[in-house]
Every structure is written in structure tokens, then in C-alpha cells.
């Protein structure tokens, strides 16, 4: 383990300490309940950025700050806002469908499974594609290459569909979010924040699975 790995673990541990320690967890939970969007932004701003740095560590053998790190972290924060919104939207939507007898009322597990599947089969693909494009735009800008259309054509969409959508959605995200939606509301927020590390890791590793085409 290298020195930078220790720094990364200390940063993650400090954030988890604030969320979980008996001295601060009640305040953290209260802030999450009173300001869900703000706290969602903060969690993803830090935790997903840590996940992205760890993916770079795995790919390159050491930590390397990606170009426009602050902008990337802000994008992750916006992702946090969207996750807070969609968690409530899809959970409530599945409840409404069950109440209208448009889905069978199969208990807590079925509700969690339907919520996770609905979210990951509709919202997740569009979100992941948008995030891939924003990443590529920033990568190209660091190389003094501009243009959203060129960035879109630069992306290996075959890899995106086969790996990100074809593998991570059914085999990781739907099961992981099913477990998340089985938890009480307070713990869903915590698990969602932790999953943001995996999100940054998976999306970053997906880019390295096959080199993007160059223009």
C-alpha cells in the first residue's frame, strides 16, 4: 500500500466517521432529512469523486487528478440531486401502481425490486450516457479539442451498451438498489452515498476497458 492509498482511505474514513459516529450521526441524519438535495449534492460531490480517483489508481497504478477535477465533482454533486429526486419518485411511483392494481402487491421485497428495476431500466441508461458525454467533453477540452458532437462520436458506444448497460445494470445496480430500497429511509441515503463510490469506479473503469476512439 502506497502513501497516497493511505490518504485516500483517510479521506473516505473521515467522511464515514461523520456519517456513522455516535457524536455526529444524529446531526448528519437530521440535516439529510431537512435538506435532502443539499446533502445529496455533498455526498456525491465527495464520495463519487473519491471513487473516480480510485478507478484512476487501478488503471494507472497511482493516483492522478483528472482534468477539471472541480467541474467533475460538481457534476457528481448534480448527480446526487438527481438520485435524491429519483429515489423518491420511483419508490412513490411503484406504490401508486400497486395501489391502482397496475402492479401486484407482492410485499416489501417485490416493491424494492420493482422500484430498482424501474429506475435502472429507464432513468439509469440516459443518466449514464449523459455522464459519459460530459466526461469525454472535459477530456477533450483538456487536449484543446472542443465540440460536444465530436465528443459524442468519440465514445465507444458498443462498449457502453455491452458493459455499462448490458452487465452492470442487471448484475450490479438492480440487485444493489433492491437492497437499498429494502432499508429504512435514513439508511437508504447512507447506502446511496456509498454506492456513489462504486458508480464512479464502474463508469471510470468502463472507459478503460476499451480505449476511446480518437478523432
**Domain parsing of the chain, residue ranges:** 3-209
Residue 160's nearest CA partner among 207, 124, 122 is 207
Q: What is the predicted pLDDT for the residue at 117?
A: 96
Percent of the chain predicted with pLDDT > 90: 31
Average pLDDT (46-59) is 80
pLDDT class for 214, splitting at 50, 70, 90?
A: very low
Contacts of 40 (CB under 8 A, 6+ apart): 80, 81, 83, 84, 189, 192
DSSP state of 124: H
pTM: 0.83
pLDDT one-digit tens code per residue, 30-45: 888 889 899 889 888 9
pLDDT at 212 over 70: no
Amino acid at each position: 500500500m502506497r502513501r497516497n492509498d493511505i490518504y485516500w482511505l483517510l479521506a473516505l474514513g473521515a467522511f464515514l466517521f461523520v456519517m456513522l459516529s455516535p457524536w455526529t450521526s444524529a446531526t448528519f441524519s437530521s440535516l439529510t432529512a431537512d435538506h435532502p438535495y443539499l446533502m445529496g449534492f455533498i455526498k456525491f460531490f465527495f464520495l463519487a469523486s473519491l471513487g473516480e480517483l480510485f478507478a484512476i489508481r487501478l488503471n494507472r497504478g497511482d493516483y492522478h487528478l483528472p482534468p477539471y477535477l472541480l467541474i467533475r465533482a460538481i457534476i457528481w454533486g448534480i448527480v446526487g440531486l438527481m438520485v435524491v429526486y429519483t429515489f423518491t419518485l420511483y419508490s412513490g411511483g411503484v406504490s401508486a401502481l400497486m395501489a391502482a392494481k397496475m402492479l401486484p402487491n407482492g410485499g416489501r421485497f417485490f416493491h424494492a425490486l420493482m422500484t430498482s428495476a424501474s429506475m435502472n431500466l429507464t432513468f439509469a441508461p440516459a443518466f449514464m450516457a449523459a455522464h459519459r458525454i460530459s466526461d469525454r467533453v472535459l477530456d477533450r477540452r483538456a487536449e484543446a479539442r472542443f465540440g460536444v458532437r465530436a465528443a459524442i462520436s468519440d465514445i465507444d458506444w458498443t462498449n457502453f451498451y455491452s458493459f455499462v448497460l448490458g452487465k452492470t445494470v442487471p448484475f450490479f445496480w438492480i440487485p444493489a438498489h433492491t437492497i437499498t430500497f429494502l432499508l429504512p429511509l435514513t439508511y437508504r441515503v447512507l447506502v446511496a452515498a456509498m454506492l456513489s463510490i462504486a458508480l464512479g469506479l464502474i463508469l471510470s473503469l468502463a472507459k478503460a476497458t476499451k480505449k476511446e476512439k480518437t478523432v
